A and B are shown apart, each in its own frame.
Chain A
Amino acid sequence: MTVETILFYVFGTLAVVSALGMVLNIRNTVASAMNLVVTMVSLAAIYLLLEAYLVAVIQIMVYGGAIVVLFLFVVMLLNLSTDEFPPGKQRVVKLAVAIACVAILTQVVIALDRDPLLAAQPGAVPEGFGGYRQVGLSLYTDYVLLVEMASLLLLAAIVGALILAKRKID
Chain B
Amino acid sequence: MPIEPIAKILFIVVVMVVGIAPLITWIERKQSAVMQDRIGANRADLAGITILGLLHPAADVIKLMTKEDVVPDGANRVLHLLSPLIAAVPAIIAFAIIPFGGVYQFGDTTLNLVGADIDWGLLYIFAIGSIAAYGTILAGWSSNNNWSMLGGLRASAQMISYEVVMGLTVVGVFMVFETLRLTDMAIAQDTSFRIFGFLNLYFGVDGWWIEHIRLPAWGIFYQPLGFLMFLTAIMAENKRPPFDIPEGESEIIAGYHLEYSGMRFGLFFMSEFIGIIIIAALTATIFLGGWVVPYWSTADIIDLISPFMGVGFATGFCILIHFSTFLLKVFFMIWVQMLLRWSLPRFRYDQVMSLCWKILLPLSIANIFVTGFILLLVKG
Interface of A toward B, CB cutoff 8 Å: 28, 30-31, 34, 37, 41, 53-54, 57, 60-61, 64-66, 69-70, 72-73, 75-77, 79, 81, 131-132
> How far does the alpha carbon of A34 sit from the alpha carbon of B127 in the complex, in Å?
16
Q: A77 to chain B: which residues have CB within 8 Å?
A: 153
Are the CB atoms of B130 and A64 closer together than 8 Å? Answer: yes
What total of A-B pairs shows CB separation below 8 Å? 80
> How far does the alpha carbon of A61 sit from the alpha carbon of B127 in the complex, in Å?
5
Are the CB atoms of A69 and B160 closer together than 8 Å? Answer: yes
Are the CB atoms of A76 and B130 closer together than 8 Å? Answer: no
Are the CB atoms of B180 and A69 closer together than 8 Å? Answer: no
B131 interface residue per 8 A CB criterion? yes
Q: Apart from A61-B130, A65-B130, what 6 extra A-B contacts exist at CB < 8 Å?
A: A53-B119, A60-B127, A69-B160, A72-B134, A72-B156, A75-B141
Within 8 Å by CB of A132, from B123, B138, B152, lies: B123
Within 8 Å by CB of B133, from A30, A41, A65, lies: A65
Q: A79 to chain B: which residues have CB within 8 Å?
A: 149
Whole-angstrom distance from the CB of B120 to the nearest CB of chain A? 6
Q: How many of chain B's residues touch chain A, expressed as a range?
A: 20 to 34
Binary interface profile of B, 76-104, with partner A (CB < 8 Å = 1, else 0)?
Answer: 10010000000000000000000000000
- Interface set, chain B 116-147, CB cutoff 8 A to A: 119-120, 123-124, 126-127, 129-131, 133-134, 137-138, 140-142
Q: B129 to chain A: which residues have CB within 8 Å?
A: 65
Whole-angstrom distance from the CB of A144 to the nearest CB of chain B? 15
> How far does the alpha carbon of A66 sit from the alpha carbon of B163 in the complex, in Å?
9
Q: A69 to chain B: which residues have CB within 8 Å?
A: 130, 133-134, 137, 156, 159-160
Within 8 Å by CB of A64, from B76, B131, B138, B153, lies: B131
> How far does the alpha carbon of A128 sit from the alpha carbon of B234 in the complex, in Å?
30
10 smallest A-B Cβ distances: which pairs? Answer: A65-B130, A60-B127, A57-B123, A73-B156, A57-B127, A61-B130, A61-B127, A69-B156, A69-B160, A76-B153
B157 interface residue per 8 A CB criterion? yes
Are the CB atoms of B131 and A65 closer together than 8 Å? Answer: yes
Whole-angstrom distance from the CB of A49 to the nearest CB of chain B? 15
Given A53-B120, A73-B153, A77-B153, A65 contacting B163 (CB threshold 8 A): yes
Q: B142 to chain A: which residues have CB within 8 Å?
A: 30
Query: Which of B129, B141, B163 has the most chain A CB within a 10 Å cutoff?
Result: B141
